Amino acid sequence: MASAKKAVLGPLVGAVDQGTSSTRFLVFNSKTAELLSHHQVEIKQEFPREGWVEQDPKEILQSVYECIEKTCEKLGQLNIDISNIKAIGVSNQRETTVVWDKLTGEPLYNAVAAPVSPGPSDPAAVVPSGSSVPAAGASSVWLDLRTQSTVESLSKRIPGNNNFVKSKTGLPLSTYFSAVKLRWLLDNVRKVQKAVEEDRALFGTIDSWLIWSLTGGASGGVHCTDVTNASRTMLFNIHSLEWDKELCEFFEIPMKILPNVRSSSEIYGLMKISHSPKAGALEGVPISGCLGDQSAALVGQMCFQDGQAKNTYGTGCFLLCNTGRKCVFSEHGLLTTVAYKLGRDKPVYYALEGSVAIAGAVIRWLRDNLGIIKSSEEIEKLAKEVGTSYGCYFVPAFSGLYAPYWEPSARGIICGLTQFTNKCHIAFAALEAVCFQTREILDAMNRDCGIPLSHLQVDGGMTNNKILMQLQADILYIPVVKPSMPETTALGAAMAAGAAEGVGVWSLEPEDLSAVTMERFEPQINAEESEIRYSTWKKAVMKSMGWVTTQSSESGMP
């Protein structure tokens, strides 16, 4: 019986999914995309000072080992032969910066992450004064107090504005991206300075640190990254697909510490973790896929066509739209980024990326600050009781408005209240706010791309809320499509790994994802009603502006 089961499964592919709050290892059947088993370990964030966010690189690495071990154990209990795992992919939190000693394998400082929790900052603080383009790339793009002075001093060296950086990288000069964090480490951490002087230092984002460690570390580990992660460093030329000498000189980053840039789907090296008895069973398995988390979700959603887009609903929302083989530079504060390059000899694809700063965060605010719900799941129940906001609109501009407005003077408002309004209407309005903000980003994408979206593919924790998904379809007035298998980020990394040359166990054709069915939400209101609600939202947004007049003149926003 066991052998029959093994025969049916076909080759398996593993995926490390390393995020800001947890690490997971997942194993998929490459023939059907079915998730067979997984394990998750929470990881700590450290806040040594206000506005500083750090993580321990060794804890991150240890969590990967633990997840691999536990998943292998679970597969054994399911009578699944782990020697059938033919490849491993890596998906990771982007921009987070690590510097380590290549001789000892020891990190020289904690991993420097971007603050992603609501804080006292405002959108103006993300961008240095005088910049012409704001930072739109982060979900909840809050001020990184550690590196703000670094950005301010760098911005003074750019004549006019930051188009020097943006034209090469697609990114604005911002505290959010890796180059500024690396510059801070080089300026402020003596251990890092000394290791660079003695030619012992290696830099990487989390993917580089994991791949180097998993392929042998100080005993011959492979120091590489992929084009999607490289494109978030502010040191990478997204046109030539190489580290940019001028950018490295501008940031004063020694190029010798940078990883080799590879495609998102090729064999980087083989697993060498024999010191871990249970995970050691994967010794010699190729690591052959690597994608930053949002690119991985784009691949996992099969958004391979020009104009296809996905939205990930979390604390904030991340929207990526595939723009094909051309770089589209936004006129509306969106980022241009590398979507993927699925093979050494395959073409590179680009994407426009935008974000909604406050999505799931507004639900937490209703729970923690107002106390109208006890758990995040309750919001759907409250909204369902009324089925309407009854003319109530909620603009959650807690720290100003981000794309496409870039208005730091705005503050959150709830308007259109009557004596009839109750907490259910406010709950409904909060869900609508997530959808209206998503529409504003997608409208900006449509204007930049010139290709109206035919449907929106969705993933992330909030997509379990059926009222939210139906509202999104109504407000966009296009279908919203949700996969039955929610692990799209890990799936994308597994697909890239399994499809790599020399592995070849995963076809990237849509018909080969037979285990992934789609739930489709069609608009249930007429187009006129959808437009009336959207225009009323825009009126509410205008009412939210101008509350904090002292900051308006200080903003670097357009």
Kindly state the average pLDDT of the residues 329-351.
93
Q: Which residue has the tokens 């990184």?
A: 144
| Cβ atoms < 10 Å from Cβ of 174 | 30
Kindly state the average pLDDT of the residues 527-538.
94
Beta-bridge partner residues of 289: 89, 265
Helix residue ranges, H only, 238-287: 245-251
Structure confidence at residue 14 (pLDDT): 96
Give 133's pLDDT tier (boundaries 50, 70, 90): very low
Contact between 95 and 526 under an 8 Å Cβ cutoff? The reply is: no
Tell me the two tokens of residue 218: 């100080």
* Beta strands 97-101 and 201-205, pairing class: antiparallel
The predicted model scores a pTM of 0.85
Tell me the two tokens of residue 184: 């801070």
Tell me the two tokens of residue 400: 């100003």
Give 172's pLDDT tier (boundaries 50, 70, 90): confident
Give 145's pLDDT tier (boundaries 50, 70, 90): low
Give the separation between CA 553 and CA 241, rounded to whole angstroms.
38
Structure confidence at residue 403 (pLDDT): 76
Give 324's pLDDT tier (boundaries 50, 70, 90): very high
| DSSP secondary structure code for residue 123 in this structure | H
Please write the tens of the pLDDT for every residue from 187-241. Answer: 999 999 999 999 999 999 999 999 999 999 988 999 999 999 999 999 999 999 9
| Cβ atoms < 10 Å from Cβ of 461 | 14
Structure confidence at residue 280 (pLDDT): 66
* Beta strands 335-340 and 349-356, pairing class: antiparallel
Please write the tens of the pLDDT for every residue from 15-36. Answer: 999 988 889 999 999 888 889 9
Give the separation between CA 506 and CA 494, rounded to whole angstroms.
9
Contact between 204 and 225 under an 8 Å Cβ cutoff? The reply is: yes
Q: Is 413 helix (H, G, I), strand (E, B) or coil?
A: strand
Q: Work out the percent of the chain whose per-residue pLDDT is above 70.
A: 87
Structure confidence at residue 289 (pLDDT): 96
Sheet of 480-483: strands edge to edge?
Answer: 335-340, 349-356, 317-324, 309-313, 456-459, 480-483, 518-521
Please write the tens of the pLDDT for every residue from 428-445. Answer: 999 999 999 999 999 999
Three state DSSP letters for 428-450:
HHHHHHHHHHHHHHHHHHHHHHC
Give the separation between CA 236 and CA 428, rounded to whole angstroms.
43
Kindly state the average pLDDT of the residues 290-312.
93
Q: Supply the mean pLDDT for the chain.
A: 85
Tell me the two tokens of residue 62: 């240890």
